[in-house]
Amino acid sequence: MGTVAILGAGVMGETLLSGLIRSGRRVDELVVTARRPDRADQLAEQYGVRAMSNVEAAEVADTLVLVVKPQDMGGLVEEIRDHVSPGNLVVSLAAGIPTAYLESRLPAGVAVVRVMPNTPALVDEGMAAVSPGRSADPAHLEEAAELLRSCGRVVQVAEKHQDAVTAISGSGPAYIFYVVEAMIEAGVVLGLPRPTATELVVQTLFGAATMMRETGQHPTVLREQVTSPGGTTAAALRQLDDHKVRAAFITAMEAAATRSHELASGND
């Protein structure tokens, strides 16, 4: 994979950097840039990597990982475009930026891969979806996927599905936190101390997710195993159905996908 430059080492950029180092990547093959020079210097000192300007990083790197906010992408590409060669791989982690946007602004033939990560990458449990641009071949796609595997799991999707990915896994942690908040509040309402309610909910969530991953069983089967006829779980689930919680979740994710599409359309 050669030298990897992470351009825009904020929270997600640092997450990727630390994941790559933990996975065995040599620090002399890693370069970071940041909007603030002191931030880049701090990362260089902490991780033993090289800190450079965006232009310097583009000149020395084989793979450029763009981890800036969508509104900053245009300026970054304009800055580095004359220093990127057709042999480079450009991996974009910016939400709502299509590969065509980057391809039209970079030299012809530069391979571009679009990635939608999510925040559990911070604890090496991220879920990322990768989509190739027109010039990206299977080897480029595998290089991008290998980068993201350093802090979680990776799937490949057609770029037309990235809006759905954004709605499901990109925004998904927020939905889970929202449900967890509600369950903790319910525990408090029912008389439990907040720390106790929090521990009960968080471990229940972790255990349920682990069961789904390790058993491979459909969630409907697992739910039915918990739901005794006429029991407490059945009573609770009836209330959720009466309040159309399932439909609300589907509608919410459709809204997220629609918004993702709107943002991407503005960056064509």
Q: State yes or no: pLDDT of 91 exceeds 90.
A: yes
Which long-range contacts (C-beta less than 8 Å, at least 24 apart) are formed by 53-57? Answer: 54/7, 54/79, 54/80, 55/79, 55/80, 55/83, 57/5, 57/7, 57/31, 57/32, 57/33
Q: State yes or no: pLDDT of 1 exceeds 80.
A: no
Integer Cα distance of 22 and 251 in angstroms: 39
Write down the CATH number for the domain with range 171-264: 1.10.3730.10
Give per-residue pLDDT as tens, 92-129. 999 889 999 999 999 999 999 999 999 999 999 999 99
Residue predicted with more confidence, 18 or 1:
18
φ, ψ dihedrals at 26, nearest 5°: -70, 135
List the one residue out of 44, 24, 26, 48 whose CA is nearest residue 34: 44
pLDDT of residue 124: 92
SS3 (DSSP) at 239: helix
Residue ranges for the known binding site for NADPH are: 54
Integer Cα distance of 76 and 67 in angstroms: 10
pLDDT of residue 35: 87
Question: Average pLDDT of 212-234?
Answer: 96
Q: Is there a contact between 164 and 131 (Cβ–Cβ < 8 Å)?
A: no
Question: Average pLDDT of 66-73?
Answer: 92
Residue 131 token pair:
């989509």
Question: Average pLDDT of 128-132?
Answer: 97
% the chain with pLDDT above 90: 89
Starting at the edge strand found earlier in the chain, the sheet holding 89-92 runs 50-51, 30-33, 4-7, 63-66, 89-92, 111-116, 126-132, 152-156
Superfamily for 4-161? Answer: NAD(P)-binding Rossmann-like Domain (3.40.50.720)
| 139 CB-side CA count, 13 A | 5
3-state secondary structure 123-176: HCCEEEEEEECCCCCHHHHHHHHHHHHCCEEEEECCHHHHHHHHHHHHCHHHHH
Give per-residue pLDDT as tens, 4-36. 999 998 889 999 999 999 999 999 999 999 988
The C-alpha angle 169, 173, 176, rounded to 5 degrees, equals 120
Give per-residue pLDDT as tens, 25-65. 999 999 999 988 889 999 999 999 999 999 999 999 999 99
Residue keyed to tokens 């159309």 = 244
Residue 156's DSSP bridge partners are: 130
CATH 1.10.3730.10 in the chain, residue ranges: 171-264
Task: Provide the whole-model pTM.
Answer: 0.90
Residue ranges for the known binding site for NADP(+) are: 7-12
Q: Is there a contact between 148 and 115 (Cβ–Cβ < 8 Å)?
A: yes
pLDDT of residue 96: 87
Q: Look over the chain and give the mean of its residue pLDDT values, rounded to a whole number.
A: 94
Residue ranges for the known binding site are: 7-12, 54
Residue 226 token pair:
């918990």
Question: Exposed, middle or buried: residue 27 (CB in 10 Å: 0-12, 13-18, 19+)?
Answer: middle
List the one residue out of 164, 151, 110 whose CA is nearest residue 132: 110
User: Which helix (H) or strand (E) is 75 found in, with range?
Assistant: helix 70-80
Question: Average pLDDT of 70-94?
Answer: 93
pLDDT of residue 36: 87
CATH 3.40.50.720 in the chain, residue ranges: 4-161
Integer Cα distance of 195 and 85 in angstroms: 54
